[in-house]
């Protein structure tokens, strides 16, 4: 029987490539996104006729919509083996903290952190039955910062803490891990009106020990591994995938 995964933020960017990767590996995927035009674009351009993908339009920050999405999965497949919490407001820069409104702050945390919790909580009964796995997509900004990224950094830091807390609470039943991507070029996997060519600045590639900036496939392959039975001894962990940048020693320019 094919395993079943729920992927949030699935219609574009990293989420879209995770869905494609899992389908190639034989998974059935409930692909959830709040952006209905992005869903329609994805449905018609790369998943038409693919009955292994079931599209769901829902906002992960809304409890009723999350509950309904999990119920759709239950009704369609009667099981759930993996959850990928990828949905996020991805703009890291919100301006000086003095001008960051409470509304903006709350919205980022509602989607990025509370949404991760709501999806995981609603999925746990099915995941416990299948002894499944959760992969939370965090960010290297949970571990290191740049100016004017308070809401995003706080939300992703919360995702990392939520990851090991859930791993402890579901020990022996559900594995829970996180991935912290670094610089990932998502341009070609965005909706057509926002699509950009792959990044070609040589100095930016050279800044990475890997010799290039990241691609969504780098995240998708680790996600698939962490969901698989090959990762049965891995839980409560965060995997930084950034081409080595966060380990790079830097110094100020010489005077």
Look up the pTM and report it.
Answer: 0.93
Domain span at 108: 4-247
Q: What is the mean pLDDT of the chain?
A: 91
Quick: pLDDT tens for 15-56. 999 999 999 999 999 999 999 999 998 888 776 567 899 999
In a domain, 77, yes or no: yes
Residue 255 lies in a domain: no
Domain presence at residue 145: yes
Find the radius of gyration of the CA atoms of the chain: 18
217 occurs within a structural domain = yes
pLDDT of residue 193: 59
Pairing type for strands 28-33 and 53-57 reads parallel
pLDDT band, very low/low/confident/very high, at 77 (cuts 50, 70, 90): very high
Dist CA 254 CA 19 (whole Å): 46
Q: What is the pLDDT of residue 80?
A: 98
Q: Is 225 a domain residue?
A: yes
pLDDT at 47: 63
CATH of the domain at 48: 3.40.50.720
Cα torsion for 246, 249, 253, 254, to the nearest 10°?
Answer: 180
Domains contained in the chain, number = 1
**Catalytic positions, written as ranges:** 152
């Amino acid at each position: 029987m094919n395993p079943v995964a729920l992927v949030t933020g699935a219609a574009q960017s990293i989420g879209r490539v995770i869905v494609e990767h899992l389908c190639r590996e034989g998974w059935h995927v409930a692909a959830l996104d709040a952006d209905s035009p992005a869903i329609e674009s994805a449905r018609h351009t790369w998943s038409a006729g693919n009955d292994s993908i079931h599209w769901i339009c829902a906002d992960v920050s809304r409890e009723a919509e999350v509950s309904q999405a999990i119920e759709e999965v239950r009704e369609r497949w009667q099981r759930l083996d993996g959850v990928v919490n990828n949905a996020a407001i991805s703009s890291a820069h919100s301006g000086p903290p003095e001008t960051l409104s409470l509304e903006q702050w709350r919205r980022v945390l509602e989607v990025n952190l509370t949404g991760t919790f709501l999806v995981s909580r609603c999925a746990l009964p099915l995941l416990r039955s299948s002894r499944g796995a959760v992969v939370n997509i965090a960010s290297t900004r949970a571990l290191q910062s740049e100016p004017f990224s308070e809401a995003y950094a706080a939300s992703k830091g919360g995702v990392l803490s939520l990851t090991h807390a859930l791993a402890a609470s579901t020990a022996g039943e559900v594995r829970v891990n996180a991935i912290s991507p670094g610089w990932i070029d998502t341009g070609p996997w965005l909706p057509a009106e926002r699509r950009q060519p792959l990044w070609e600045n040589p100095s930016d590639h050279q800044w990475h020990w890997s010799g290039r900036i990241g691609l969504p496939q780098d995240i998708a392959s680790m996600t698939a591994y962490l969901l698989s039975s090959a990762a049965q001894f891995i839980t409560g962990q965060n995997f930084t995938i950034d081409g080595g940048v966060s380990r790079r020693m830097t110094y100020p320019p010489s005077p």
